[in-house]
Amino acid sequence: MNSVPTDGSPTFFKGLITYSSMQWKRIGAIIAISTDEMVFTFFFFVVLPLFNIKLPLSVYGCIMAVLIGKDLIVVRLIWNVVVKPPETGMEALVGKIGVAITDIDADSSGTVQIANELWNAHSVHPIRKGERVRILSVDGLSLNVEPAVGVQ
């Protein structure tokens, strides 16, 4: 069963689900990155003593410092990928530039093309066919647009 409403219900719930999903991605990334420290700690304090192997705590500290340093480097490299907001969905359209396929008048809707997709569009400003438009908001299956002045 799909947990994201598609019946025109408020986007608050969609945003809440997306936010929750992003939080779980972050938690999963932290656990995955810190797994080596947990395994090493278990090995150092449980497995080695079972075989009467005793190492100084300074060895543990040095190895943990190296592992934590490695984790800091890895986190800096991949964190933006893990926490990046999704680039799909209707909310991702806001701010994008498209082209008017038909004339759009203040009292009627028209059609715009955004990334090889055709959308119904409304505007408070008249827009002629072929002009570039900027998406202001998404209203169901229609876009609210304005002329994109100075955009080539």
Position 27 scores a pLDDT of 82
Say which residue the tokens 């004339």 belong to. 103
Q: Which two tokens stand for residue 66?
A: 């190296």
Query: Which pLDDT tens digits describe the chain residue by residue (152 residues)?
Result: 444 445 554 555 455 555 566 677 778 888 888 898 999 999 999 999 999 999 999 999 999 999 999 999 988 888 777 766 656 677 788 889 999 999 999 878 999 999 888 999 999 999 999 999 999 999 888 999 999 987 66
Say which residue the tokens 């972050």 belong to. 26
Position 16 scores a pLDDT of 53
CB within 8 Å of 89: residues ≥ 6 apart = 14, 18
Beta strand spans in 31-77 (E): none
Position 62 scores a pLDDT of 95
Look up the pTM and report it. 0.46
Q: Which two tokens stand for residue 141?
A: 């299956």
CB atoms inside a 10 Å sphere around CB 110: 21
Q: Which of 115, 65, 67, 66 is nearest to 90 (CA)?
A: 115
Contact predicate 132/101, CB 8 Å: no
Position 115 scores a pLDDT of 85
How far apart are the C-alpha atoms of 127 and 113, rounded to whole Å? 13
Position 75 scores a pLDDT of 85
Tell me, what amino acid is at 123?
S
Contact predicate 98/135, CB 8 Å: yes
Homologous superfamily of 90-147 in CATH? Nucleic acid-binding proteins (2.40.50.140)
